[in-house]
Structure 1
């Protein structure tokens, strides 16, 4: 597979699963000490990656869980934030400035701050009350967030299958390698067909809306300098549909939660207008060893693996490094 180090990938994924005992011990302590609300705080991609877990809590629990933009939180505040708040942060590098300021802000309001990163000596790891460290560069953070929130909801009697789900995560390294292998030819074909495409329209919903936002902004825009439109499948028919034309590249991200019919509807309409609709559906992947009732929860992680293959092939055919930036962390702002 192009630019895929299987050994490194497996090691990173195993390091995420290995955090389970520490995550569960932390959650149990927070619950026992009376913490009663959770803020999931991020910036850019790490903010978008919080949305599936806010979505999970909103539809299954009365526990107040909110995703917050780090920079906005510092200037606007949040009425939930206080001595009974667990504020959760994620950072690949451990150096994200907006998150560091938000960590200080949340700590000043009495919250218990939690950080997930791959760098134990980083500012984020040093700045939080509890740091849980994975292998360097391990991404995405879905395993940690699912374990953290899943355990919390289980303690409240709102996630009866948590232990079984957590046990099944042990197969993820193998399962995700198989996903990457299956996705490889699809990714190569998409990249070849779109090497000269300069605009993509992305649609997703439910617990894949965060990934839709992330892939549009953080990959296609930031890393490939491509123009995009991104819209939630439930909102597609309230304005954005007017941008779809016969030659528009429409990318549909389809998962397996209860919002699937909303994305089906948007996909069906897009195919009536555009001759260039690409559907990436997590249902296409076997995920052997994962129970059917948990597949939807893992859709963001599966799709991240699939689209990483697409990203690497876009990098190749467009001769545009995924590491190239004009402004981000290059200029002062």
Structure 2
């Protein structure tokens, strides 16, 4: 039985919104005291995937350079463009991921300003960063983190004089908790049906692009593989036609995420092809869902939050029917690696 956790979920999102003053103070301090020339987004797995939309937004609206790195690669490469004039944003829910903590300490040693996200701030990562934002919760952690990251991103844009609708954006952001709860309620029945239809599946192709590429990546490697032990391949919807579409057959199981950002045509193309050649295609299209109080101009930016809300219910239902809790692991945190 999958419990209804919408009230807890809503309160966690509201907690993320409540960090607005702290975030505005942090960004002001960072940009007033440093000559920020680029931004590095650093983490592993889901904690990395959740930051990918930030690069997409900044690439669209700003001329600042944004780099996304797995923490191990960041530490071992030590990019030449990484200097004391870099803003480093790191994320690890446990606050103990060794490579992420090492990345934060490396930035600290270089004199680069750091912002970190973790479940609890009294952790190695919380102690290593200049500005720590903790979001411990039973559910909604990812969405709460996206809300805080968006506040950072749009503060950066405002501080750099690159965005004039900051207050309007924040007003729409504040309407999200209620809207996302409605999204979850809307998909409850289809989440049950998805779980029943796919409980015995052995493999998924998970497609997404643009602002949803990180969501597709996280669903494939974190949910299906890490938490359900189902083989899954994350594919950028644009790259789908440069290799992976050759393995599509009538029974190929394909999950496509479609947002309302500038990459939507890539999802449309992938959907049209997939439905022509496979009878097992699931599409999550954010355009289907009503979001009261949200300015139409911002819906594309909120596509990851909508998809995350939908996929949360899909994932919890498939875990339930497979009798495989999302917390179950064979290696992670159990053996040396």
TM-score (ref. length: structure 2): 0.95
After TM superposition, give the deviation of residue 65 of structure 1 in Å. 1.4
CA contact (8 A) 2:27 2:155 kept: yes
After TM superposition, give the deviation of residue 284 of structure 1 in Å. 1.0
Unaligned 5+ segments in structure 2 are: none
| Pairing 1:181-260 to 2, within 5 Å after superposition | 181-260=185-264
Q: Indicate the SS of the match to 1:297.
A: coil
| Pairing 1:1-333 to 2, within 5 Å after superposition | 2-33=2-33, 34-136=35-137, 138-140=141-143, 141-333=145-337
CA contact (8 A) 1:211 1:304 kept: yes
CA contact (8 A) 2:108 2:128 kept: no
Q: Indicate the SS of the match to 1:188.
A: helix
Unaligned 5+ segments in structure 1 are: none
Q: Using the alignment, how far apart are the partners of 1:115 and 1:148 within structure 2?
A: 11
CA contact (8 A) 2:158 2:164 kept: yes
After TM superposition, give the deviation of residue 59 of structure 1 in Å. 2.1
Q: Using the alignment, how far apart are the partners of 2:179 and 2:195 within structure 1?
A: 24
Q: Using the alignment, how far apart are the partners of 1:157 and 1:131 within structure 2?
A: 25
CA contact (8 A) 1:256 1:296 kept: yes
Q: Using the alignment, how far apart are the partners of 1:147 and 1:159 within structure 2?
A: 13
Q: Using the alignment, how far apart are the partners of 1:323 and 1:118 within structure 2?
A: 16
CA contact (8 A) 2:275 2:281 kept: yes
After TM superposition, give the deviation of residue 6 of structure 1 in Å. 2.4
After TM superposition, give the deviation of residue 119 of structure 1 in Å. 0.8
CA contact (8 A) 2:258 2:284 kept: yes
Q: Deviations over 1:159-204 (max 9, x none)?
A: 2222211122222221111111001111111111111111111111
Q: Indicate the SS of the match to 2:215.
A: helix
CA contact (8 A) 2:50 2:142 kept: no
After TM superposition, give the deviation of residue 205 of structure 1 in Å. 0.6
Q: Using the alignment, how far apart are the partners of 1:310 and 1:264 within structure 2?
A: 22
Between stretches 109-118 and 180-189, larger displacement belongs to 109-118
After TM superposition, give the deviation of residue 134 of structure 1 in Å. 3.1
After TM superposition, give the deviation of residue 92 of structure 1 in Å. 1.9
TM-score (ref. length: structure 1): 0.97
CA contact (8 A) 2:41 2:88 kept: yes
Q: Using the alignment, how far apart are the partners of 2:163 and 2:240 within structure 1?
A: 31
Q: Using the alignment, how far apart are the partners of 1:245 and 1:3 within structure 2?
A: 36
Q: Using the alignment, how far apart are the partners of 1:274 and 1:160 within structure 2?
A: 45
Q: Indicate the SS of the match to 1:196.
A: coil
Q: Using the alignment, how far apart are the partners of 1:304 and 1:126 within structure 2?
A: 29
CA contact (8 A) 1:219 1:311 kept: yes
Between stretches 55-64 and 182-191, larger displacement belongs to 55-64
After TM superposition, give the deviation of residue 2 of structure 1 in Å. 2.5
